[in-house]
C-alpha cells in the first residue's frame, strides 16, 4: 500500500490533483524541472534530519504548550528584574491592536493600500514627539542598543569628529554593541563616575573633551537607576567644545522628568519596550531616535521617517517617506548606515499606549513609580547590613542595593529569594567589580505596597 | 395592516462574480489622533500607590534640580478607551496584510501565511512575561525551543552553529560581517582585508551593512544572462578581499549554477563567503549553504519561516556558521549539558552583542512551531510548491502585453521573478509605479522592487507556497486588465488609485526641509509660519 500523500493546510496547492494540473499547465514533467540550474554537486540528496512533525494543530499545541509550561513567568512570581527590560502593565488594547491581522500580517506596504500603517506610525512619531518635545522621531529601529549606536554615529557624521564620550555606568552589554558598531569610524571613551553619587565626574569630562569629541552621551535615568542631575551642565560642556549632546532616556519617565531637549539634548535615543510592550524574554525591544527638525541632523538618520502631506482631495491626509534618498533602500551603501525590517509593530503599539495613557496617565504613572521606589529604598535601608547605593541622587525606577556588609553574595541572596518565589535584582558583581556585591533592582507600577514589604522581609531573612 | 408579498416561486439568482473583484478599500476618513482628543478623557488608569507608600515617599521631586522637572504635561491626546481602540481598528482596516490580500506583489519578501496557532502560542504569558535575566531554572522551556530551533536550522543550512540573536535580516547580515571581520582580525589580516564584494541583485543591506563595518564595497553587475558577472569577480578578488556577500537565487529568481566557482575563487584568495538566504523559500531541502561551500549564511525567520511581517518588524534573523567562524558568534550562545539548557557567556573571541539579550523570542517560538508542523517532507513541499507557484504565475504573466522577464530567456525560475514593464512603458508612457497604484484598486499589493532599477520598470512577484492556483490566476487577471488599460486608457493609470483609502498624495513636501513634517507638532508649526 502506498502512503497517502499529505495535503498540508498551509500549502493549498499540495493537493495532488492541483499540483498535477499546474505542472501540466507550465509543461513541466515534475518540480525537478524548476531546479535544473542547480548543479548535482550541490544538490542535497537526503531527507533533512528533522524531528517528525505534529501534523495536526492539536498535537502541535500540546507539544509547544508542554515546552512553555517549563517556564515560570513574572506573572507567577514577584520580580524585581530590570536592567533595561522592565515589567510594566500592558493595557489590553495594546495587545488587541497589535494582534489584528491587518497590521500583524502586512509588511512594507505602500502609502495607498497600507495607509493605516503609515498613519499609525506617523502618529507614533508624533506622540513620541510630544513626550520628547522634539519635532523629528524615526520609525523604530531594532532596539535601544541600536538607536544609541546610530545616534552616536549620526553625531560623528554631523560634526565630522571621531570620539564619543560615554559615562562608565553604561550597561556593559550596551557598551559592547556600541563599541562594535562604532569601531571602524569612531572611538568610544569612558568618563569616570563619582563612587558616592553615581554622577559623571565633570572634571574628568572636561579633561577628556577636545576638538575630536563628536558626542557627549549620558543616560537619564542611568543604567544604575539614578538621574544625572548635572545634565544641563554636561550639555553646556559638550556644546562649548562643539560636540553634540546625545541623551538616552527611558520614555516612560517623561510624564514627570524633563525631556532632554529642555536641558540641551541634541539627539535623544532609547528603547520603547516600557510603552505597552511585553518583555518577551528580551524580545520586546524597539529603539527610537529623536531630534530637532534641523536639516543637518535629519539628513543623517538612516531610518525611515514618515511625513504627513495633503492629497488631491481636500481634507485628506497622505503619508510618505521624508528625504528617502538618505536611505540604503534608495542608494544602497551610499546611504546612511542601513534600513530594513526592524520593529514597526512595536512602534504602533507604543503609540496606542501613549494614546491610552494621555498626559495625566503618564504623569500619574511616573510619579507613582518614583513613590514606590522611595518606599522600597526606605524599607530596604531598614534591613540590617543592607543599604542602597547613590541614595543622595534622585532615582526613577531602578536602584542599586548593596549587600557587601551582609556577608552574603548577591547570588546567595537571590537563591534564597527564588525559594520564596521572588526574582531578586540583577547581580552587578561581574559587570561592576568595584561595587562588590551589589544588585540592580527595578520597581514599577505593577508593584504594590505588599509586594515591597514582602521583598524587604525576604531580604532581611536572606541576609540574616 | 397586512403586508402584501409578491410570489416569486424561486429565489432570484445572483449573477456570477465578475473576473475582477469589485474592491473598494475601507475609507474611514479618520482624523489624526490628536484631532480626536477631548480634554479630560482617560484611556487607562495607572494603579495608584497605597496611601502609606505615598506618605513614606514624601515629595519625590524635592531633590530634583529644576532642569530635570517636567514643566508641563506632554500634549498627548486625551481619549476614552473605546475611542483609542476604534481609531486603531479603523486604521487597521485601511491596511492590507497577507490575511486579506493575494500578497505575491512584494517580491523578495516571502509573504506567506503566518499560522494563527503560532500567534496564539506566542501570546502565552509563559513567553510574553518572561524577563531575560530570570534564573535559568525558570526559563528551561524557551531555552529548549531556542536550542532545538538552532539545531533544525543547522540541519537546514548544513552549518555547524547557529545564533538567533539578530533582530531581523539586515541585522543578521551585519552580524555575519562582524564575525567575518573578527575572523580576519584573529588571523592578523584585519588591516589587509578591506573589501567586501556583493552583487547588484543582492539585498541593498549587504553592501550597506558591510560599509558600516568599515569595508569598501565592490558590486558585481549582472552579466548578459543575469548571473553575477564571474569575470568581474575575477577582477575584483585579491588579498584585500574580506568576503563575498551573495544571494542565490538572486532577486531575479535565477539560480546561479556557478556558485561553487564563485565560492572557490574567493576562498583561493583567503576571503570568506556569506550566503544571504533571504530567498531560501524555494530551496529548502534542495540545496544548502554548506553544500556550496559557504562559511556563513543567514535566514530571515519572518520570511522563509513564516513569522508575521508585522508592518516591518519585529522580525528575527538567524546566522549559521562553520566551526571555524563559531568562536566569533555573538554572546551568549544557548547550550545544553545533557540535563539542562543554559547560556554561555564565556566566549573570549565573540563579537559581543548584536542586540540586547538573546533574540526576538516570540518569533523564535513561531518559527520553531512552524517547522515542527511541517517536518522534513513538509519543508520540501514548501520549496517545491513555491517554485511551482512561481513558474505557474510566470507562465501566465508572460502572456500579458508589455511585460517580460529579462535574462535567461526560456529558463525556469526558482521562487520569484523580476519582471520588466519596459515595453509597456515605451508603448504607453505608463510606469511600473502607476501599475502598482492601480493594483491597489483591485485589493492587492504591488511593490516596486529595490533600487537601483537595473531592470527597467521592474516588478518582482514571489508567489510563495501559501497561495492557491485561483489566487495566482486572480493576480494575473489584475495585471492583464491593467496592462490593457495602459494601452487603451492610460489616464486611468495616471490618476490611480481610485478605490483606495486615499487619493493621490502630494509628494513635493517630503524632500523640502521647510515643508516636511515627521510629527504632528512639526506640521502645526510649519503651517503657522
Q: Is residue B394 assigned to a domain? A: yes
Go through the domains of chain A in sequence order and give each one's CATH number.
Answer: 12-67 (no CATH), 78-88+361-462 (3.90.1150.10), 92-354 (3.40.640.10)
pLDDT, mean over chain A: 97
Here the cell at position B156 is 537546514
Q: Chain B contacts of A297, Cβ < 8 Å?
A: none
CB proximity A456 to B under 8 Å: no
Nearest-CB residue to A358 (from B42, B89, B518): B42
Q: Is residue B170 assigned to a domain? A: yes
Chain A residues 406-425 within an 8 A CB cutoff of chain B = 414, 418, 423
Chain A residues 41-60 within an 8 A CB cutoff of chain B = 41-44, 47-55, 57, 60
3-class DSSP state of B371: helix
Q: Chain B contacts of A357, Cβ < 8 Å?
A: 43-44, 46, 76
> d(Cα A132, Cα A361) in Å, to the nearest integer?
16
**Residue range of the domain that includes B476:** 378-494
Is residue B315 over pLDDT 80?
A: yes
pLDDT of residue A3: 73
Question: Does the beta-carbon distance from A102 to B135 stay under 8 Å?
Answer: no
Chain B closest CA to A436's CA: distance in Å? 19
Chain B closest CA to A55's CA: distance in Å? 5
Q: Which of the listed residues B372, B404, B430 is the one where a domain comes to its end? A: B372
Compute the count of residue pairs across chains A and B with CB atoms less than 8 Å apart: 744
Q: Is residue B36 assigned to a domain? A: no
Task: Enumerate residues 6+ apart whose C-beta is below 8 A from A264.
Answer: A231, A232, A235, A236, A238, A239, A245
Chain A residues 139-178 within an 8 A CB cutoff of chain B = 139-140, 142-146, 153, 173-174, 176-177
Q: Which of the listed residues B328, B355, B372 is the one where a domain comes to its end? A: B372
> d(Cα A204, Cα A213) in Å, to the nearest integer?
14
For residue A69, give Cα distances in angstroms to A96, A305, A424, B116, B219.
Answer: 24, 41, 22, 20, 49
CA atoms within 13 A on the CB side of A113: 31
Cis amide prior to B249 (ω within 30 degrees): yes
Task: Enumerate residues 6+ apart whose C-beta is below 8 A from B159.
Answer: B153, B289, B290, B294, B296, B297, B320, B321, B322
Nearest-CB residue to A42 (from B139, B291, B505): B291
User: Across residues B330-352, what is the average pLDDT?
Assistant: 97
Pair B328, B390 in one domain: no
Q: Which residues pair with A200 in a beta bridge?
A: A193
Pair B352, B466 in one domain: no
Q: Is residue B458 assigned to a domain? A: yes
Q: Is residue B188 assigned to a domain? A: yes
Q: Which of the listed residues B351, B372, B393 is the one where a domain comes to its end? A: B372
pLDDT of residue A144: 98
3-class DSSP state of B502: coil
pLDDT of residue B270: 98
Q: Chain B contacts of A84, Cβ < 8 Å?
A: 356
Q: Is residue B143 assigned to a domain? A: yes
> d(Cα A304, Cα A328) in Å, to the nearest integer?
10
| Tens digits of pLDDT across chain A (464 residues) | 467 889 999 999 999 999 999 999 999 999 999 999 999 999 999 999 999 999 999 999 999 999 999 999 999 999 999 999 999 999 999 999 999 999 999 998 889 999 999 999 999 999 999 999 999 999 999 999 999 999 999 999 999 999 999 999 999 999 999 999 999 999 999 999 999 999 999 999 999 999 999 999 999 999 999 999 999 999 999 999 999 999 999 999 999 999 999 999 999 999 999 999 999 999 999 999 999 999 999 999 999 999 999 999 999 999 999 999 999 888 888 999 999 999 999 999 999 999 999 999 999 999 999 999 999 999 999 999 999 999 999 999 999 999 999 999 999 999 999 999 999 999 999 999 999 999 999 999 999 999 999 999 999 999 99
CB proximity A367 to B under 8 Å: yes
pLDDT, mean over chain B: 96
Question: Does the beta-carbon distance from B360 to A283 stay under 8 Å?
Answer: yes
Q: How many domains does chain B have?
A: 2
Pair B357, B463 in one domain: no
CB proximity B80 to A under 8 Å: no
pLDDT of residue A2: 61
CATH number at residue B461: 3.90.1150.10
Is residue B435 over pLDDT 90?
A: yes
In terms of phi and psi (left: phi > 0; alpha: psi -120 to 50; beta: otherwise), the region of A133 is left
CB proximity A312 to B under 8 Å: yes
Nearest-CB residue to B56 (from A285, A310, A378): A378
CB proximity A77 to B under 8 Å: yes
Pair B307, B366 in one domain: yes
Is residue B1 over pLDDT 70?
A: no
> d(Cα B241, Cα B168) in Å, to the nearest integer?
26
Q: Is residue B234 assigned to a domain? A: yes
CB proximity A335 to B under 8 Å: yes
Nearest-CB residue to B74 (from A113, A130, A346): A130
Pair B325, B434 in one domain: no
Pair B147, B243 in one domain: yes
Q: Chain A contacts of B67, Cβ < 8 Å?
A: 231-232, 258, 262-263
CB proximity B205 to A under 8 Å: yes
> d(Cα B269, Cα B237) in Å, to the nearest integer?
7
Query: Max CA-CA distance within chain B?
Result: 99
- Shortest CA distance from B376: residue in chain A: A48
CB proximity A451 to B under 8 Å: no
Backbone torsions φ then ψ of A181, nearest 5 degrees: -75, -30
Nearest-CB residue to B76 (from A100, A316, A357): A357
CB proximity B153 to A under 8 Å: no
Angle B514-B518-B521 (CA atoms, 0-180°, nearest 5)? 85
Pair B368, B396 in one domain: no
Question: Does the beta-carbon distance from B521 to A130 stay under 8 Å?
Answer: yes
Q: Which of B518, B521, B523, B524 to mutate to test the interface with A (most CBs of A within 10 A)?
A: B518
Pair B178, B320 in one domain: yes
| pLDDT tens-digit readout, B365-382 | 999 999 999 999 999 999
CB proximity B527 to A under 8 Å: no
CB proximity A19 to B under 8 Å: yes
Question: Does the beta-carbon distance from A117 to B178 stay under 8 Å?
Answer: no
For residue B438, give Cα distances in angstroms to A366, B88, B170.
Answer: 48, 26, 30
Structure confidence at residue B8 as a pLDDT band (50, 70, 90): confident
Structure confidence at residue B6 as a pLDDT band (50, 70, 90): confident
> d(Cα B162, Cα A58) in Å, to the nearest integer?
29
pLDDT of residue A344: 97
Backbone torsions φ then ψ of B103, nearest 5 degrees: -90, 55
Q: Chain A contacts of B392, Cβ < 8 Å?
A: 22, 25-26
Q: Chain A contacts of B50, Cβ < 8 Å?
A: 448-449
pLDDT of residue B170: 95
| pLDDT tens-digit readout, B472-505 | 999 999 999 999 999 999 999 999 999 999 999 9
> d(Cα B479, Cα B492) in Å, to the nearest integer?
14
Judge whether B402 and B432 are in contact, CB under 8 Å.
no
Judge whether B104 and B393 are in contact, CB under 8 Å.
yes
Worst-scoring range by mean pLDDT, A370-379, B11-20, B518-527? B11-20
Q: Which of B48, B311, B339, B496 to mutate to test the interface with A (most CBs of A within 10 A)?
A: B311
- Shortest CA distance from A133: residue in chain B: B74
Chain A residues 235-264 within an 8 A CB cutoff of chain B = 254-259, 262-263
Pair B354, B426 in one domain: no
For residue B230, give Cα distances in angstroms to B226, B265, B266, B414.
Answer: 11, 10, 11, 21
- Shortest CA distance from B182: residue in chain A: A180
Chain A closest CA to B419's CA: distance in Å? 18
3-class DSSP state of A102: helix
pLDDT of residue B2: 67
CB proximity A432 to B under 8 Å: no
CATH number at residue B249: 3.40.640.10
**What ipTM was assigned to the predicted interfaces of this complex?**
0.97
Pair B213, B280 in one domain: yes
CB proximity B134 to A under 8 Å: yes
> d(Cα B500, Cα A113) in Å, to the nearest integer?
6
Pair B236, B270 in one domain: yes
Chain A closest CA to B488's CA: distance in Å? 24
Is residue B195 over pLDDT 80?
A: yes
**Cβ atoms < 10 Å from Cβ of B286:** 23
DSSP string, A45-63: -S----PPP--SHHHHHHH
- Shortest CA distance from B414: residue in chain A: A34
Q: Is residue B437 assigned to a domain? A: yes
CB proximity B196 to A under 8 Å: no
- Shortest CA distance from A67: residue in chain B: B141
pLDDT of residue A5: 86
Pair B422, B318 in one domain: no
pLDDT of residue A309: 97
Question: Does the beta-carbon distance from B76 to A108 stay under 8 Å?
Answer: no
Amino acid at each position: 500500500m502506498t502512503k497517502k500523500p499529505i495535503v498540508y493546510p498551509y500549502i493549498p496547492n499540495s493537493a495532488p490533483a492541483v499540483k498535477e494540473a499546474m505542472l501540466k499547465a507550465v509543461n513541466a514533467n515534475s518540480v525537478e524541472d524548476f531546479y535544473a540550474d542547480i548543479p548535482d554537486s550541490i544538490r542535497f540528496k537526503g531527507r533533512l534530519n528533522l524531528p517528525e512533525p505534529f501534523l495536526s494543530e492539536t498535537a502541535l499545541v500540546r507539544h509547544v504548550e508542554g515546552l512553555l509550561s517549563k517556564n515560570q513567568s513574572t506573572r507567577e512570581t514577584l520580580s524585581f528584574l530590570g536592567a533595561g527590560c522592565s515589567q510594566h502593565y500592558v493595557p489590553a488594547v495594546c495587545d488587541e491592536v497589535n494582534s489584528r491581522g491587518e497590521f500583524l500580517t502586512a509588511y512594507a506596504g505602500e502609502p495607498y493600500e497600507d495607509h493605516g500603517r503609515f498613519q499609525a506610525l506617523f502618529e507614533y512619531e508624533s506622540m513620541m514627539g510630544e513626550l520628547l518635545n522634539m519635532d523629528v522621531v524615526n520609525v523604530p529601529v531594532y532596539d535601544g542598543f541600536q538607536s544609541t549606536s546610530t545616534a552616536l554615529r549620526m553625531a560623528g557624521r554631523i560634526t565630522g569628529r571621531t570620539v564619543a564620550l560615554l559615562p562608565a555606568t553604561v550597561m556593559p552589554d550596551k557598551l559592547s554593541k556600541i563599541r562594535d558598531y562604532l569601531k571602524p569610524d569612531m572611538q568610544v571613551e569612558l568618563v569616570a563616575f563619582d563612587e558616592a553619587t553615581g554622577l559623571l565626574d565633570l572634571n574628568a569630562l572636561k579633561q577628556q573633551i577636545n576638538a575630536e569629541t563628536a558626542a557627549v552621551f549620558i543616560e537619564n535615568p542611568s543604567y544604575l537607576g539614578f538621574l544625572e542631575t548635572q545634565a544641563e551642565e554636561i550639555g553646556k560642556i559638550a556644546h562649548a567644545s562643539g560636540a553634540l549632546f546625545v541623551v538616552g532616556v527611558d520614555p516612560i519617565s517623561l510624564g514627570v522628568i524633563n525631556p532632554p531637549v529642555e536641558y540641551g539634548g541634541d539627539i535623544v535615543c532609547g528603547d520603547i519596550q516600557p510603552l505597552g510592550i511585553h518583555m518577551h524574554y528580551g524580545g520586546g525591544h524597539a529603539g527610537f531616535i529623536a531630534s530637532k527638525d534641523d536639516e543637518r541632523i535629519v539628513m543623517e538618520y538612516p531610518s525611515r521617517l514618515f511625513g504627513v502631506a495633503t492629497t488631491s482631495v481636500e481634507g485628506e491626509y497622505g503619508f510618505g517617506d521624508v528625504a528617502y534618498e538618505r536611505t540604503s533602500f534608495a542608494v544602497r551603501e551610499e546611504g546612511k548606515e542601513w534600513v530594513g525590517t526592524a520593529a514597526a509593530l512595536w512602534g504602533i503599539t507604543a503609540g496606542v499606549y501613549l494614546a491610552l495613557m494621555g498626559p495625566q496617565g503618564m504623569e500619574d504613572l511616573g510619579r507613582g513609580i518614583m513613590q514606590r521606589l522611595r518606599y522600597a529604598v526606605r524599607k530596604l535601608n531598614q534591613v540590617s547590613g543592607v543599604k542602597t547605593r547613590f541614595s543622595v541622587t534622585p532615582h526613577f525606577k531602578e536602584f542599586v542595593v548593596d549587600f557587601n556588609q551582609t556577608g552574603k553574595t548577591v547570588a546567595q541572596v537571590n537563591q534564597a529569594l527564588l525559594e520564596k518565589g521572588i526574582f531578586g535584582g540583577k547581580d552587578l558583581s561581574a559587570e561592576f567589580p568595584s561595587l562588590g556585591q551589589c544588585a540592580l533592582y527595578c520597581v514599577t507600577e505593577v508593584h504594590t505596597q505588599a509586594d515591597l514589604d514582602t521583598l524587604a522581609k525576604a531580604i532581611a531573612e536572606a541576609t540574616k | 395592516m397586512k403586508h402584501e408579498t409578491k410570489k416569486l416561486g424561486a429565489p432570484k439568482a445572483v449573477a456570477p462574480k465578475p473576473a475582477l473583484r469589485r474592491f473598494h478599500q475601507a475609507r474611514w476618513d479618520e482624523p489624526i489622533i490628536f484631532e480626536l482628543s477631548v480634554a479630560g478623557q482617560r484611556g487607562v488608569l495607572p494603579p495608584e500607590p497605597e496611601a502609606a507608600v505615598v506618605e513614606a515617599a514624601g515629595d519625590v521631586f524635592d531633590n530634583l534640580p529644576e532642569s530635570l522637572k517636567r514643566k508641563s504635561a506632554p500634549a498627548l491626546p486625551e481619549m476614552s478607551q473605546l475611542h483609542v481602540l476604534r481609531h486603531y481598528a479603523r486604521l487597521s482596516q485601511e491596511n492590507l496584510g497577507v490575511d486579506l490580500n493575494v500578497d505575491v506583489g512584494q517580491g523578495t519578501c516571502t509573504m506567506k501565511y503566518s499560522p494563527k496557532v503560532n500567534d496564539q502560542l506566542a501570546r502565552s504569558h509563559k513567553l510574553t512575561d518572561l524577563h531575560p535575566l530570570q534564573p535559568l531554572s525558570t526559563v528551561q522551556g524557551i531555552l529548549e525551543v531556542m536550542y532545538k530551533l538552532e539545531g533544525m536550522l543547522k540541519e537546514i543550512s548544513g552549518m555547524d552553529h547557529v545564533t538567533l540573536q539578530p533582530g531581523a535580516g539586515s541585522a543578521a547580515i551585519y552580524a555575519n560581517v562582524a564575525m567575518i571581520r573578527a575572523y580576519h582580525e584573529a588571523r592578523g589580516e584585519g588591516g589587509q582585508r578591506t573589501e567586501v564584494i556583493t552583487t547588484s541583485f543582492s539585498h541593498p543591506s549587504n553592501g550597506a551593512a558591510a560599509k558600516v563595518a568599515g569595508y569598501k564595497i565592490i558590486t558585481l553587475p549582472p552579466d548578459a544572462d543575469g548571473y553575477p558577472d564571474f569575470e568581474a569577480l575575477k577582477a575584483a578578488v585579491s588579498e584585500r578581499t574580506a568576503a563575498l556577500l551573495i544571494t542565490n537565487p538572486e532577486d531575479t529568481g535565477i539560480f546561479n549554477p556557478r556558485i561553487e566557482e564563485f565560492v572557490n575563487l574567493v576562498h583561493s584568495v583567503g576571503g570568506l563567503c556569506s550566503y544571504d538566504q533571504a530567498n531560501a523559500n524555494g530551496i529548502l531541502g534542495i540545496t544548502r549553504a554548506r553544500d556550496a561551500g559557504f562559511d556563513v549564511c543567514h535566514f530571515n525567520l519572518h520570511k522563509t519561516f513564516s513569522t508575521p511581517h508585522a508592518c516591518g518588524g519585529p522580525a528575527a534573523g538567524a546566522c549559521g556558521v562553520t566551526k571555524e567562524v563559531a568562536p566569533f558568534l555573538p554572546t551568549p550562545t544557548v547550550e545544553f549539558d545533557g540535563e539542562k539548557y543554559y547560556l554561555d557567556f564565556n566566549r573570549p573571541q565573540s563579537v559581543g552583542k548584536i542586540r540586547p539579550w538573546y533574540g526576538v523570542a516570540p518569533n523564535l517560538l513561531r518559527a520553531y512551531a512552524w517547522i515542527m508542523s511541517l517536518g522534513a517532507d513538509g519543508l520540501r513541499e514548501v520549496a517545491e510548491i513555491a517554485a511551482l507557484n512561481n513558474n505557474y504565475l510566470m507562465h501566465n504573466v508572460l502572456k500579458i502585453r508589455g511585460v517580460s522577464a529579462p535574462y535567461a530567456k526560456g529558463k525556469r525560475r526558482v521562487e520569484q521573478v523580476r519582471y520588466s514593464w519596459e515595453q509597456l512603458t515605451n508603448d504607453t508612457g505608463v510606469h511600473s509605479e502607476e501599475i502598482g497604484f492601480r493594483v491597489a484598486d483591485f485589493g492587492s499589493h504591488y511593490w516596486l522592487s529595490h533600487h537601483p532599477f537595473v531592470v527597467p520598470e521592474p516588478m518582482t512577484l514571489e508567489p510563495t507556497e501559501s497561495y492557491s492556483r485561483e489566487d495566482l490566476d486572480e493576480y494575473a487577471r489584475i495585471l492583464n486588465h491593467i496592462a490593457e488599460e495602459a494601452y487603451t486608457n492610460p489616464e486611468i493609470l495616471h490618476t490611480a488609485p481610485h478605490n483606495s483609502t486615499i487619493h493621490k498624495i502630494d509628494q513635493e513636501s517630503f524632500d523640502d526641509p521647510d515643508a516636511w513634517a515627521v510629527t504632528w507638532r512639526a506640521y502645526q508649526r510649519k503651517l503657522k509660519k
